[in-house]
Amino acid sequence: MAIDPNFDQNRERVGEENGVTVWGPVDEPEQLGIHGTHVAVDYDICIADGACLENCPVDVFTWVDTPGHPASEEKVEPTRESQCIDCMLCVDICPVDAIDVDASRK
């Protein structure tokens, strides 16, 4: 199952972590929601293979610990999503379709 491209309409904004918007539902540690808005990562399906972090030409992503999450113990956070150049490489390279980039959500 891929990230919902309309999450900003279908989910409630529940807060922020490290300056990044979090969209619910969140029930830690099993359910962590979607992090980011312009560049969004669905933490519930992210397997943390790191391809997006390693290949992003403008270093949008950083690692964050997510202990106890069933998919992985860490996730990639779009910490610097404002730097995104909309190249869509992260979207194309994610093996589980956990990332969405939408210029209209800047």
pLDDT in tens, 38-93: 999 999 999 999 999 999 999 999 999 999 999 999 999 999 999 999 999 999 99
Residue 106 has pLDDT above 80, yes or no: no
Q: What is the pTM of this model?
A: 0.96
Please state the domain extents for the chain: 13-101
- Angstrom CA distances, 41 to 5, 18, 54, 98, stand at 11, 14, 15, 6
For the beta sheet containing 39-42, the strands, ordered from the edge strand earlier in sequence to the opposite edge, are 13-17, 20-23, 34-35, 39-42, 99-101
Query: Cα separation of 96 and 106, whole Å?
Result: 24
Which residue positions form the known binding site for Zn(2+)? Answer: 35
- Angstrom CA distances, 71 to 77, 82, 90, 96, stand at 15, 27, 19, 11
Which residue positions form the known binding site? Answer: 35, 46, 52, 56, 84, 87, 90, 94
- The fold for domain 13-101 equals Alpha-Beta Plaits (3.30.70)
Which residue positions form the known binding site for [3Fe-4S] cluster? Answer: 46, 52, 94
Query: Cα separation of 4 and 20, whole Å?
Result: 18
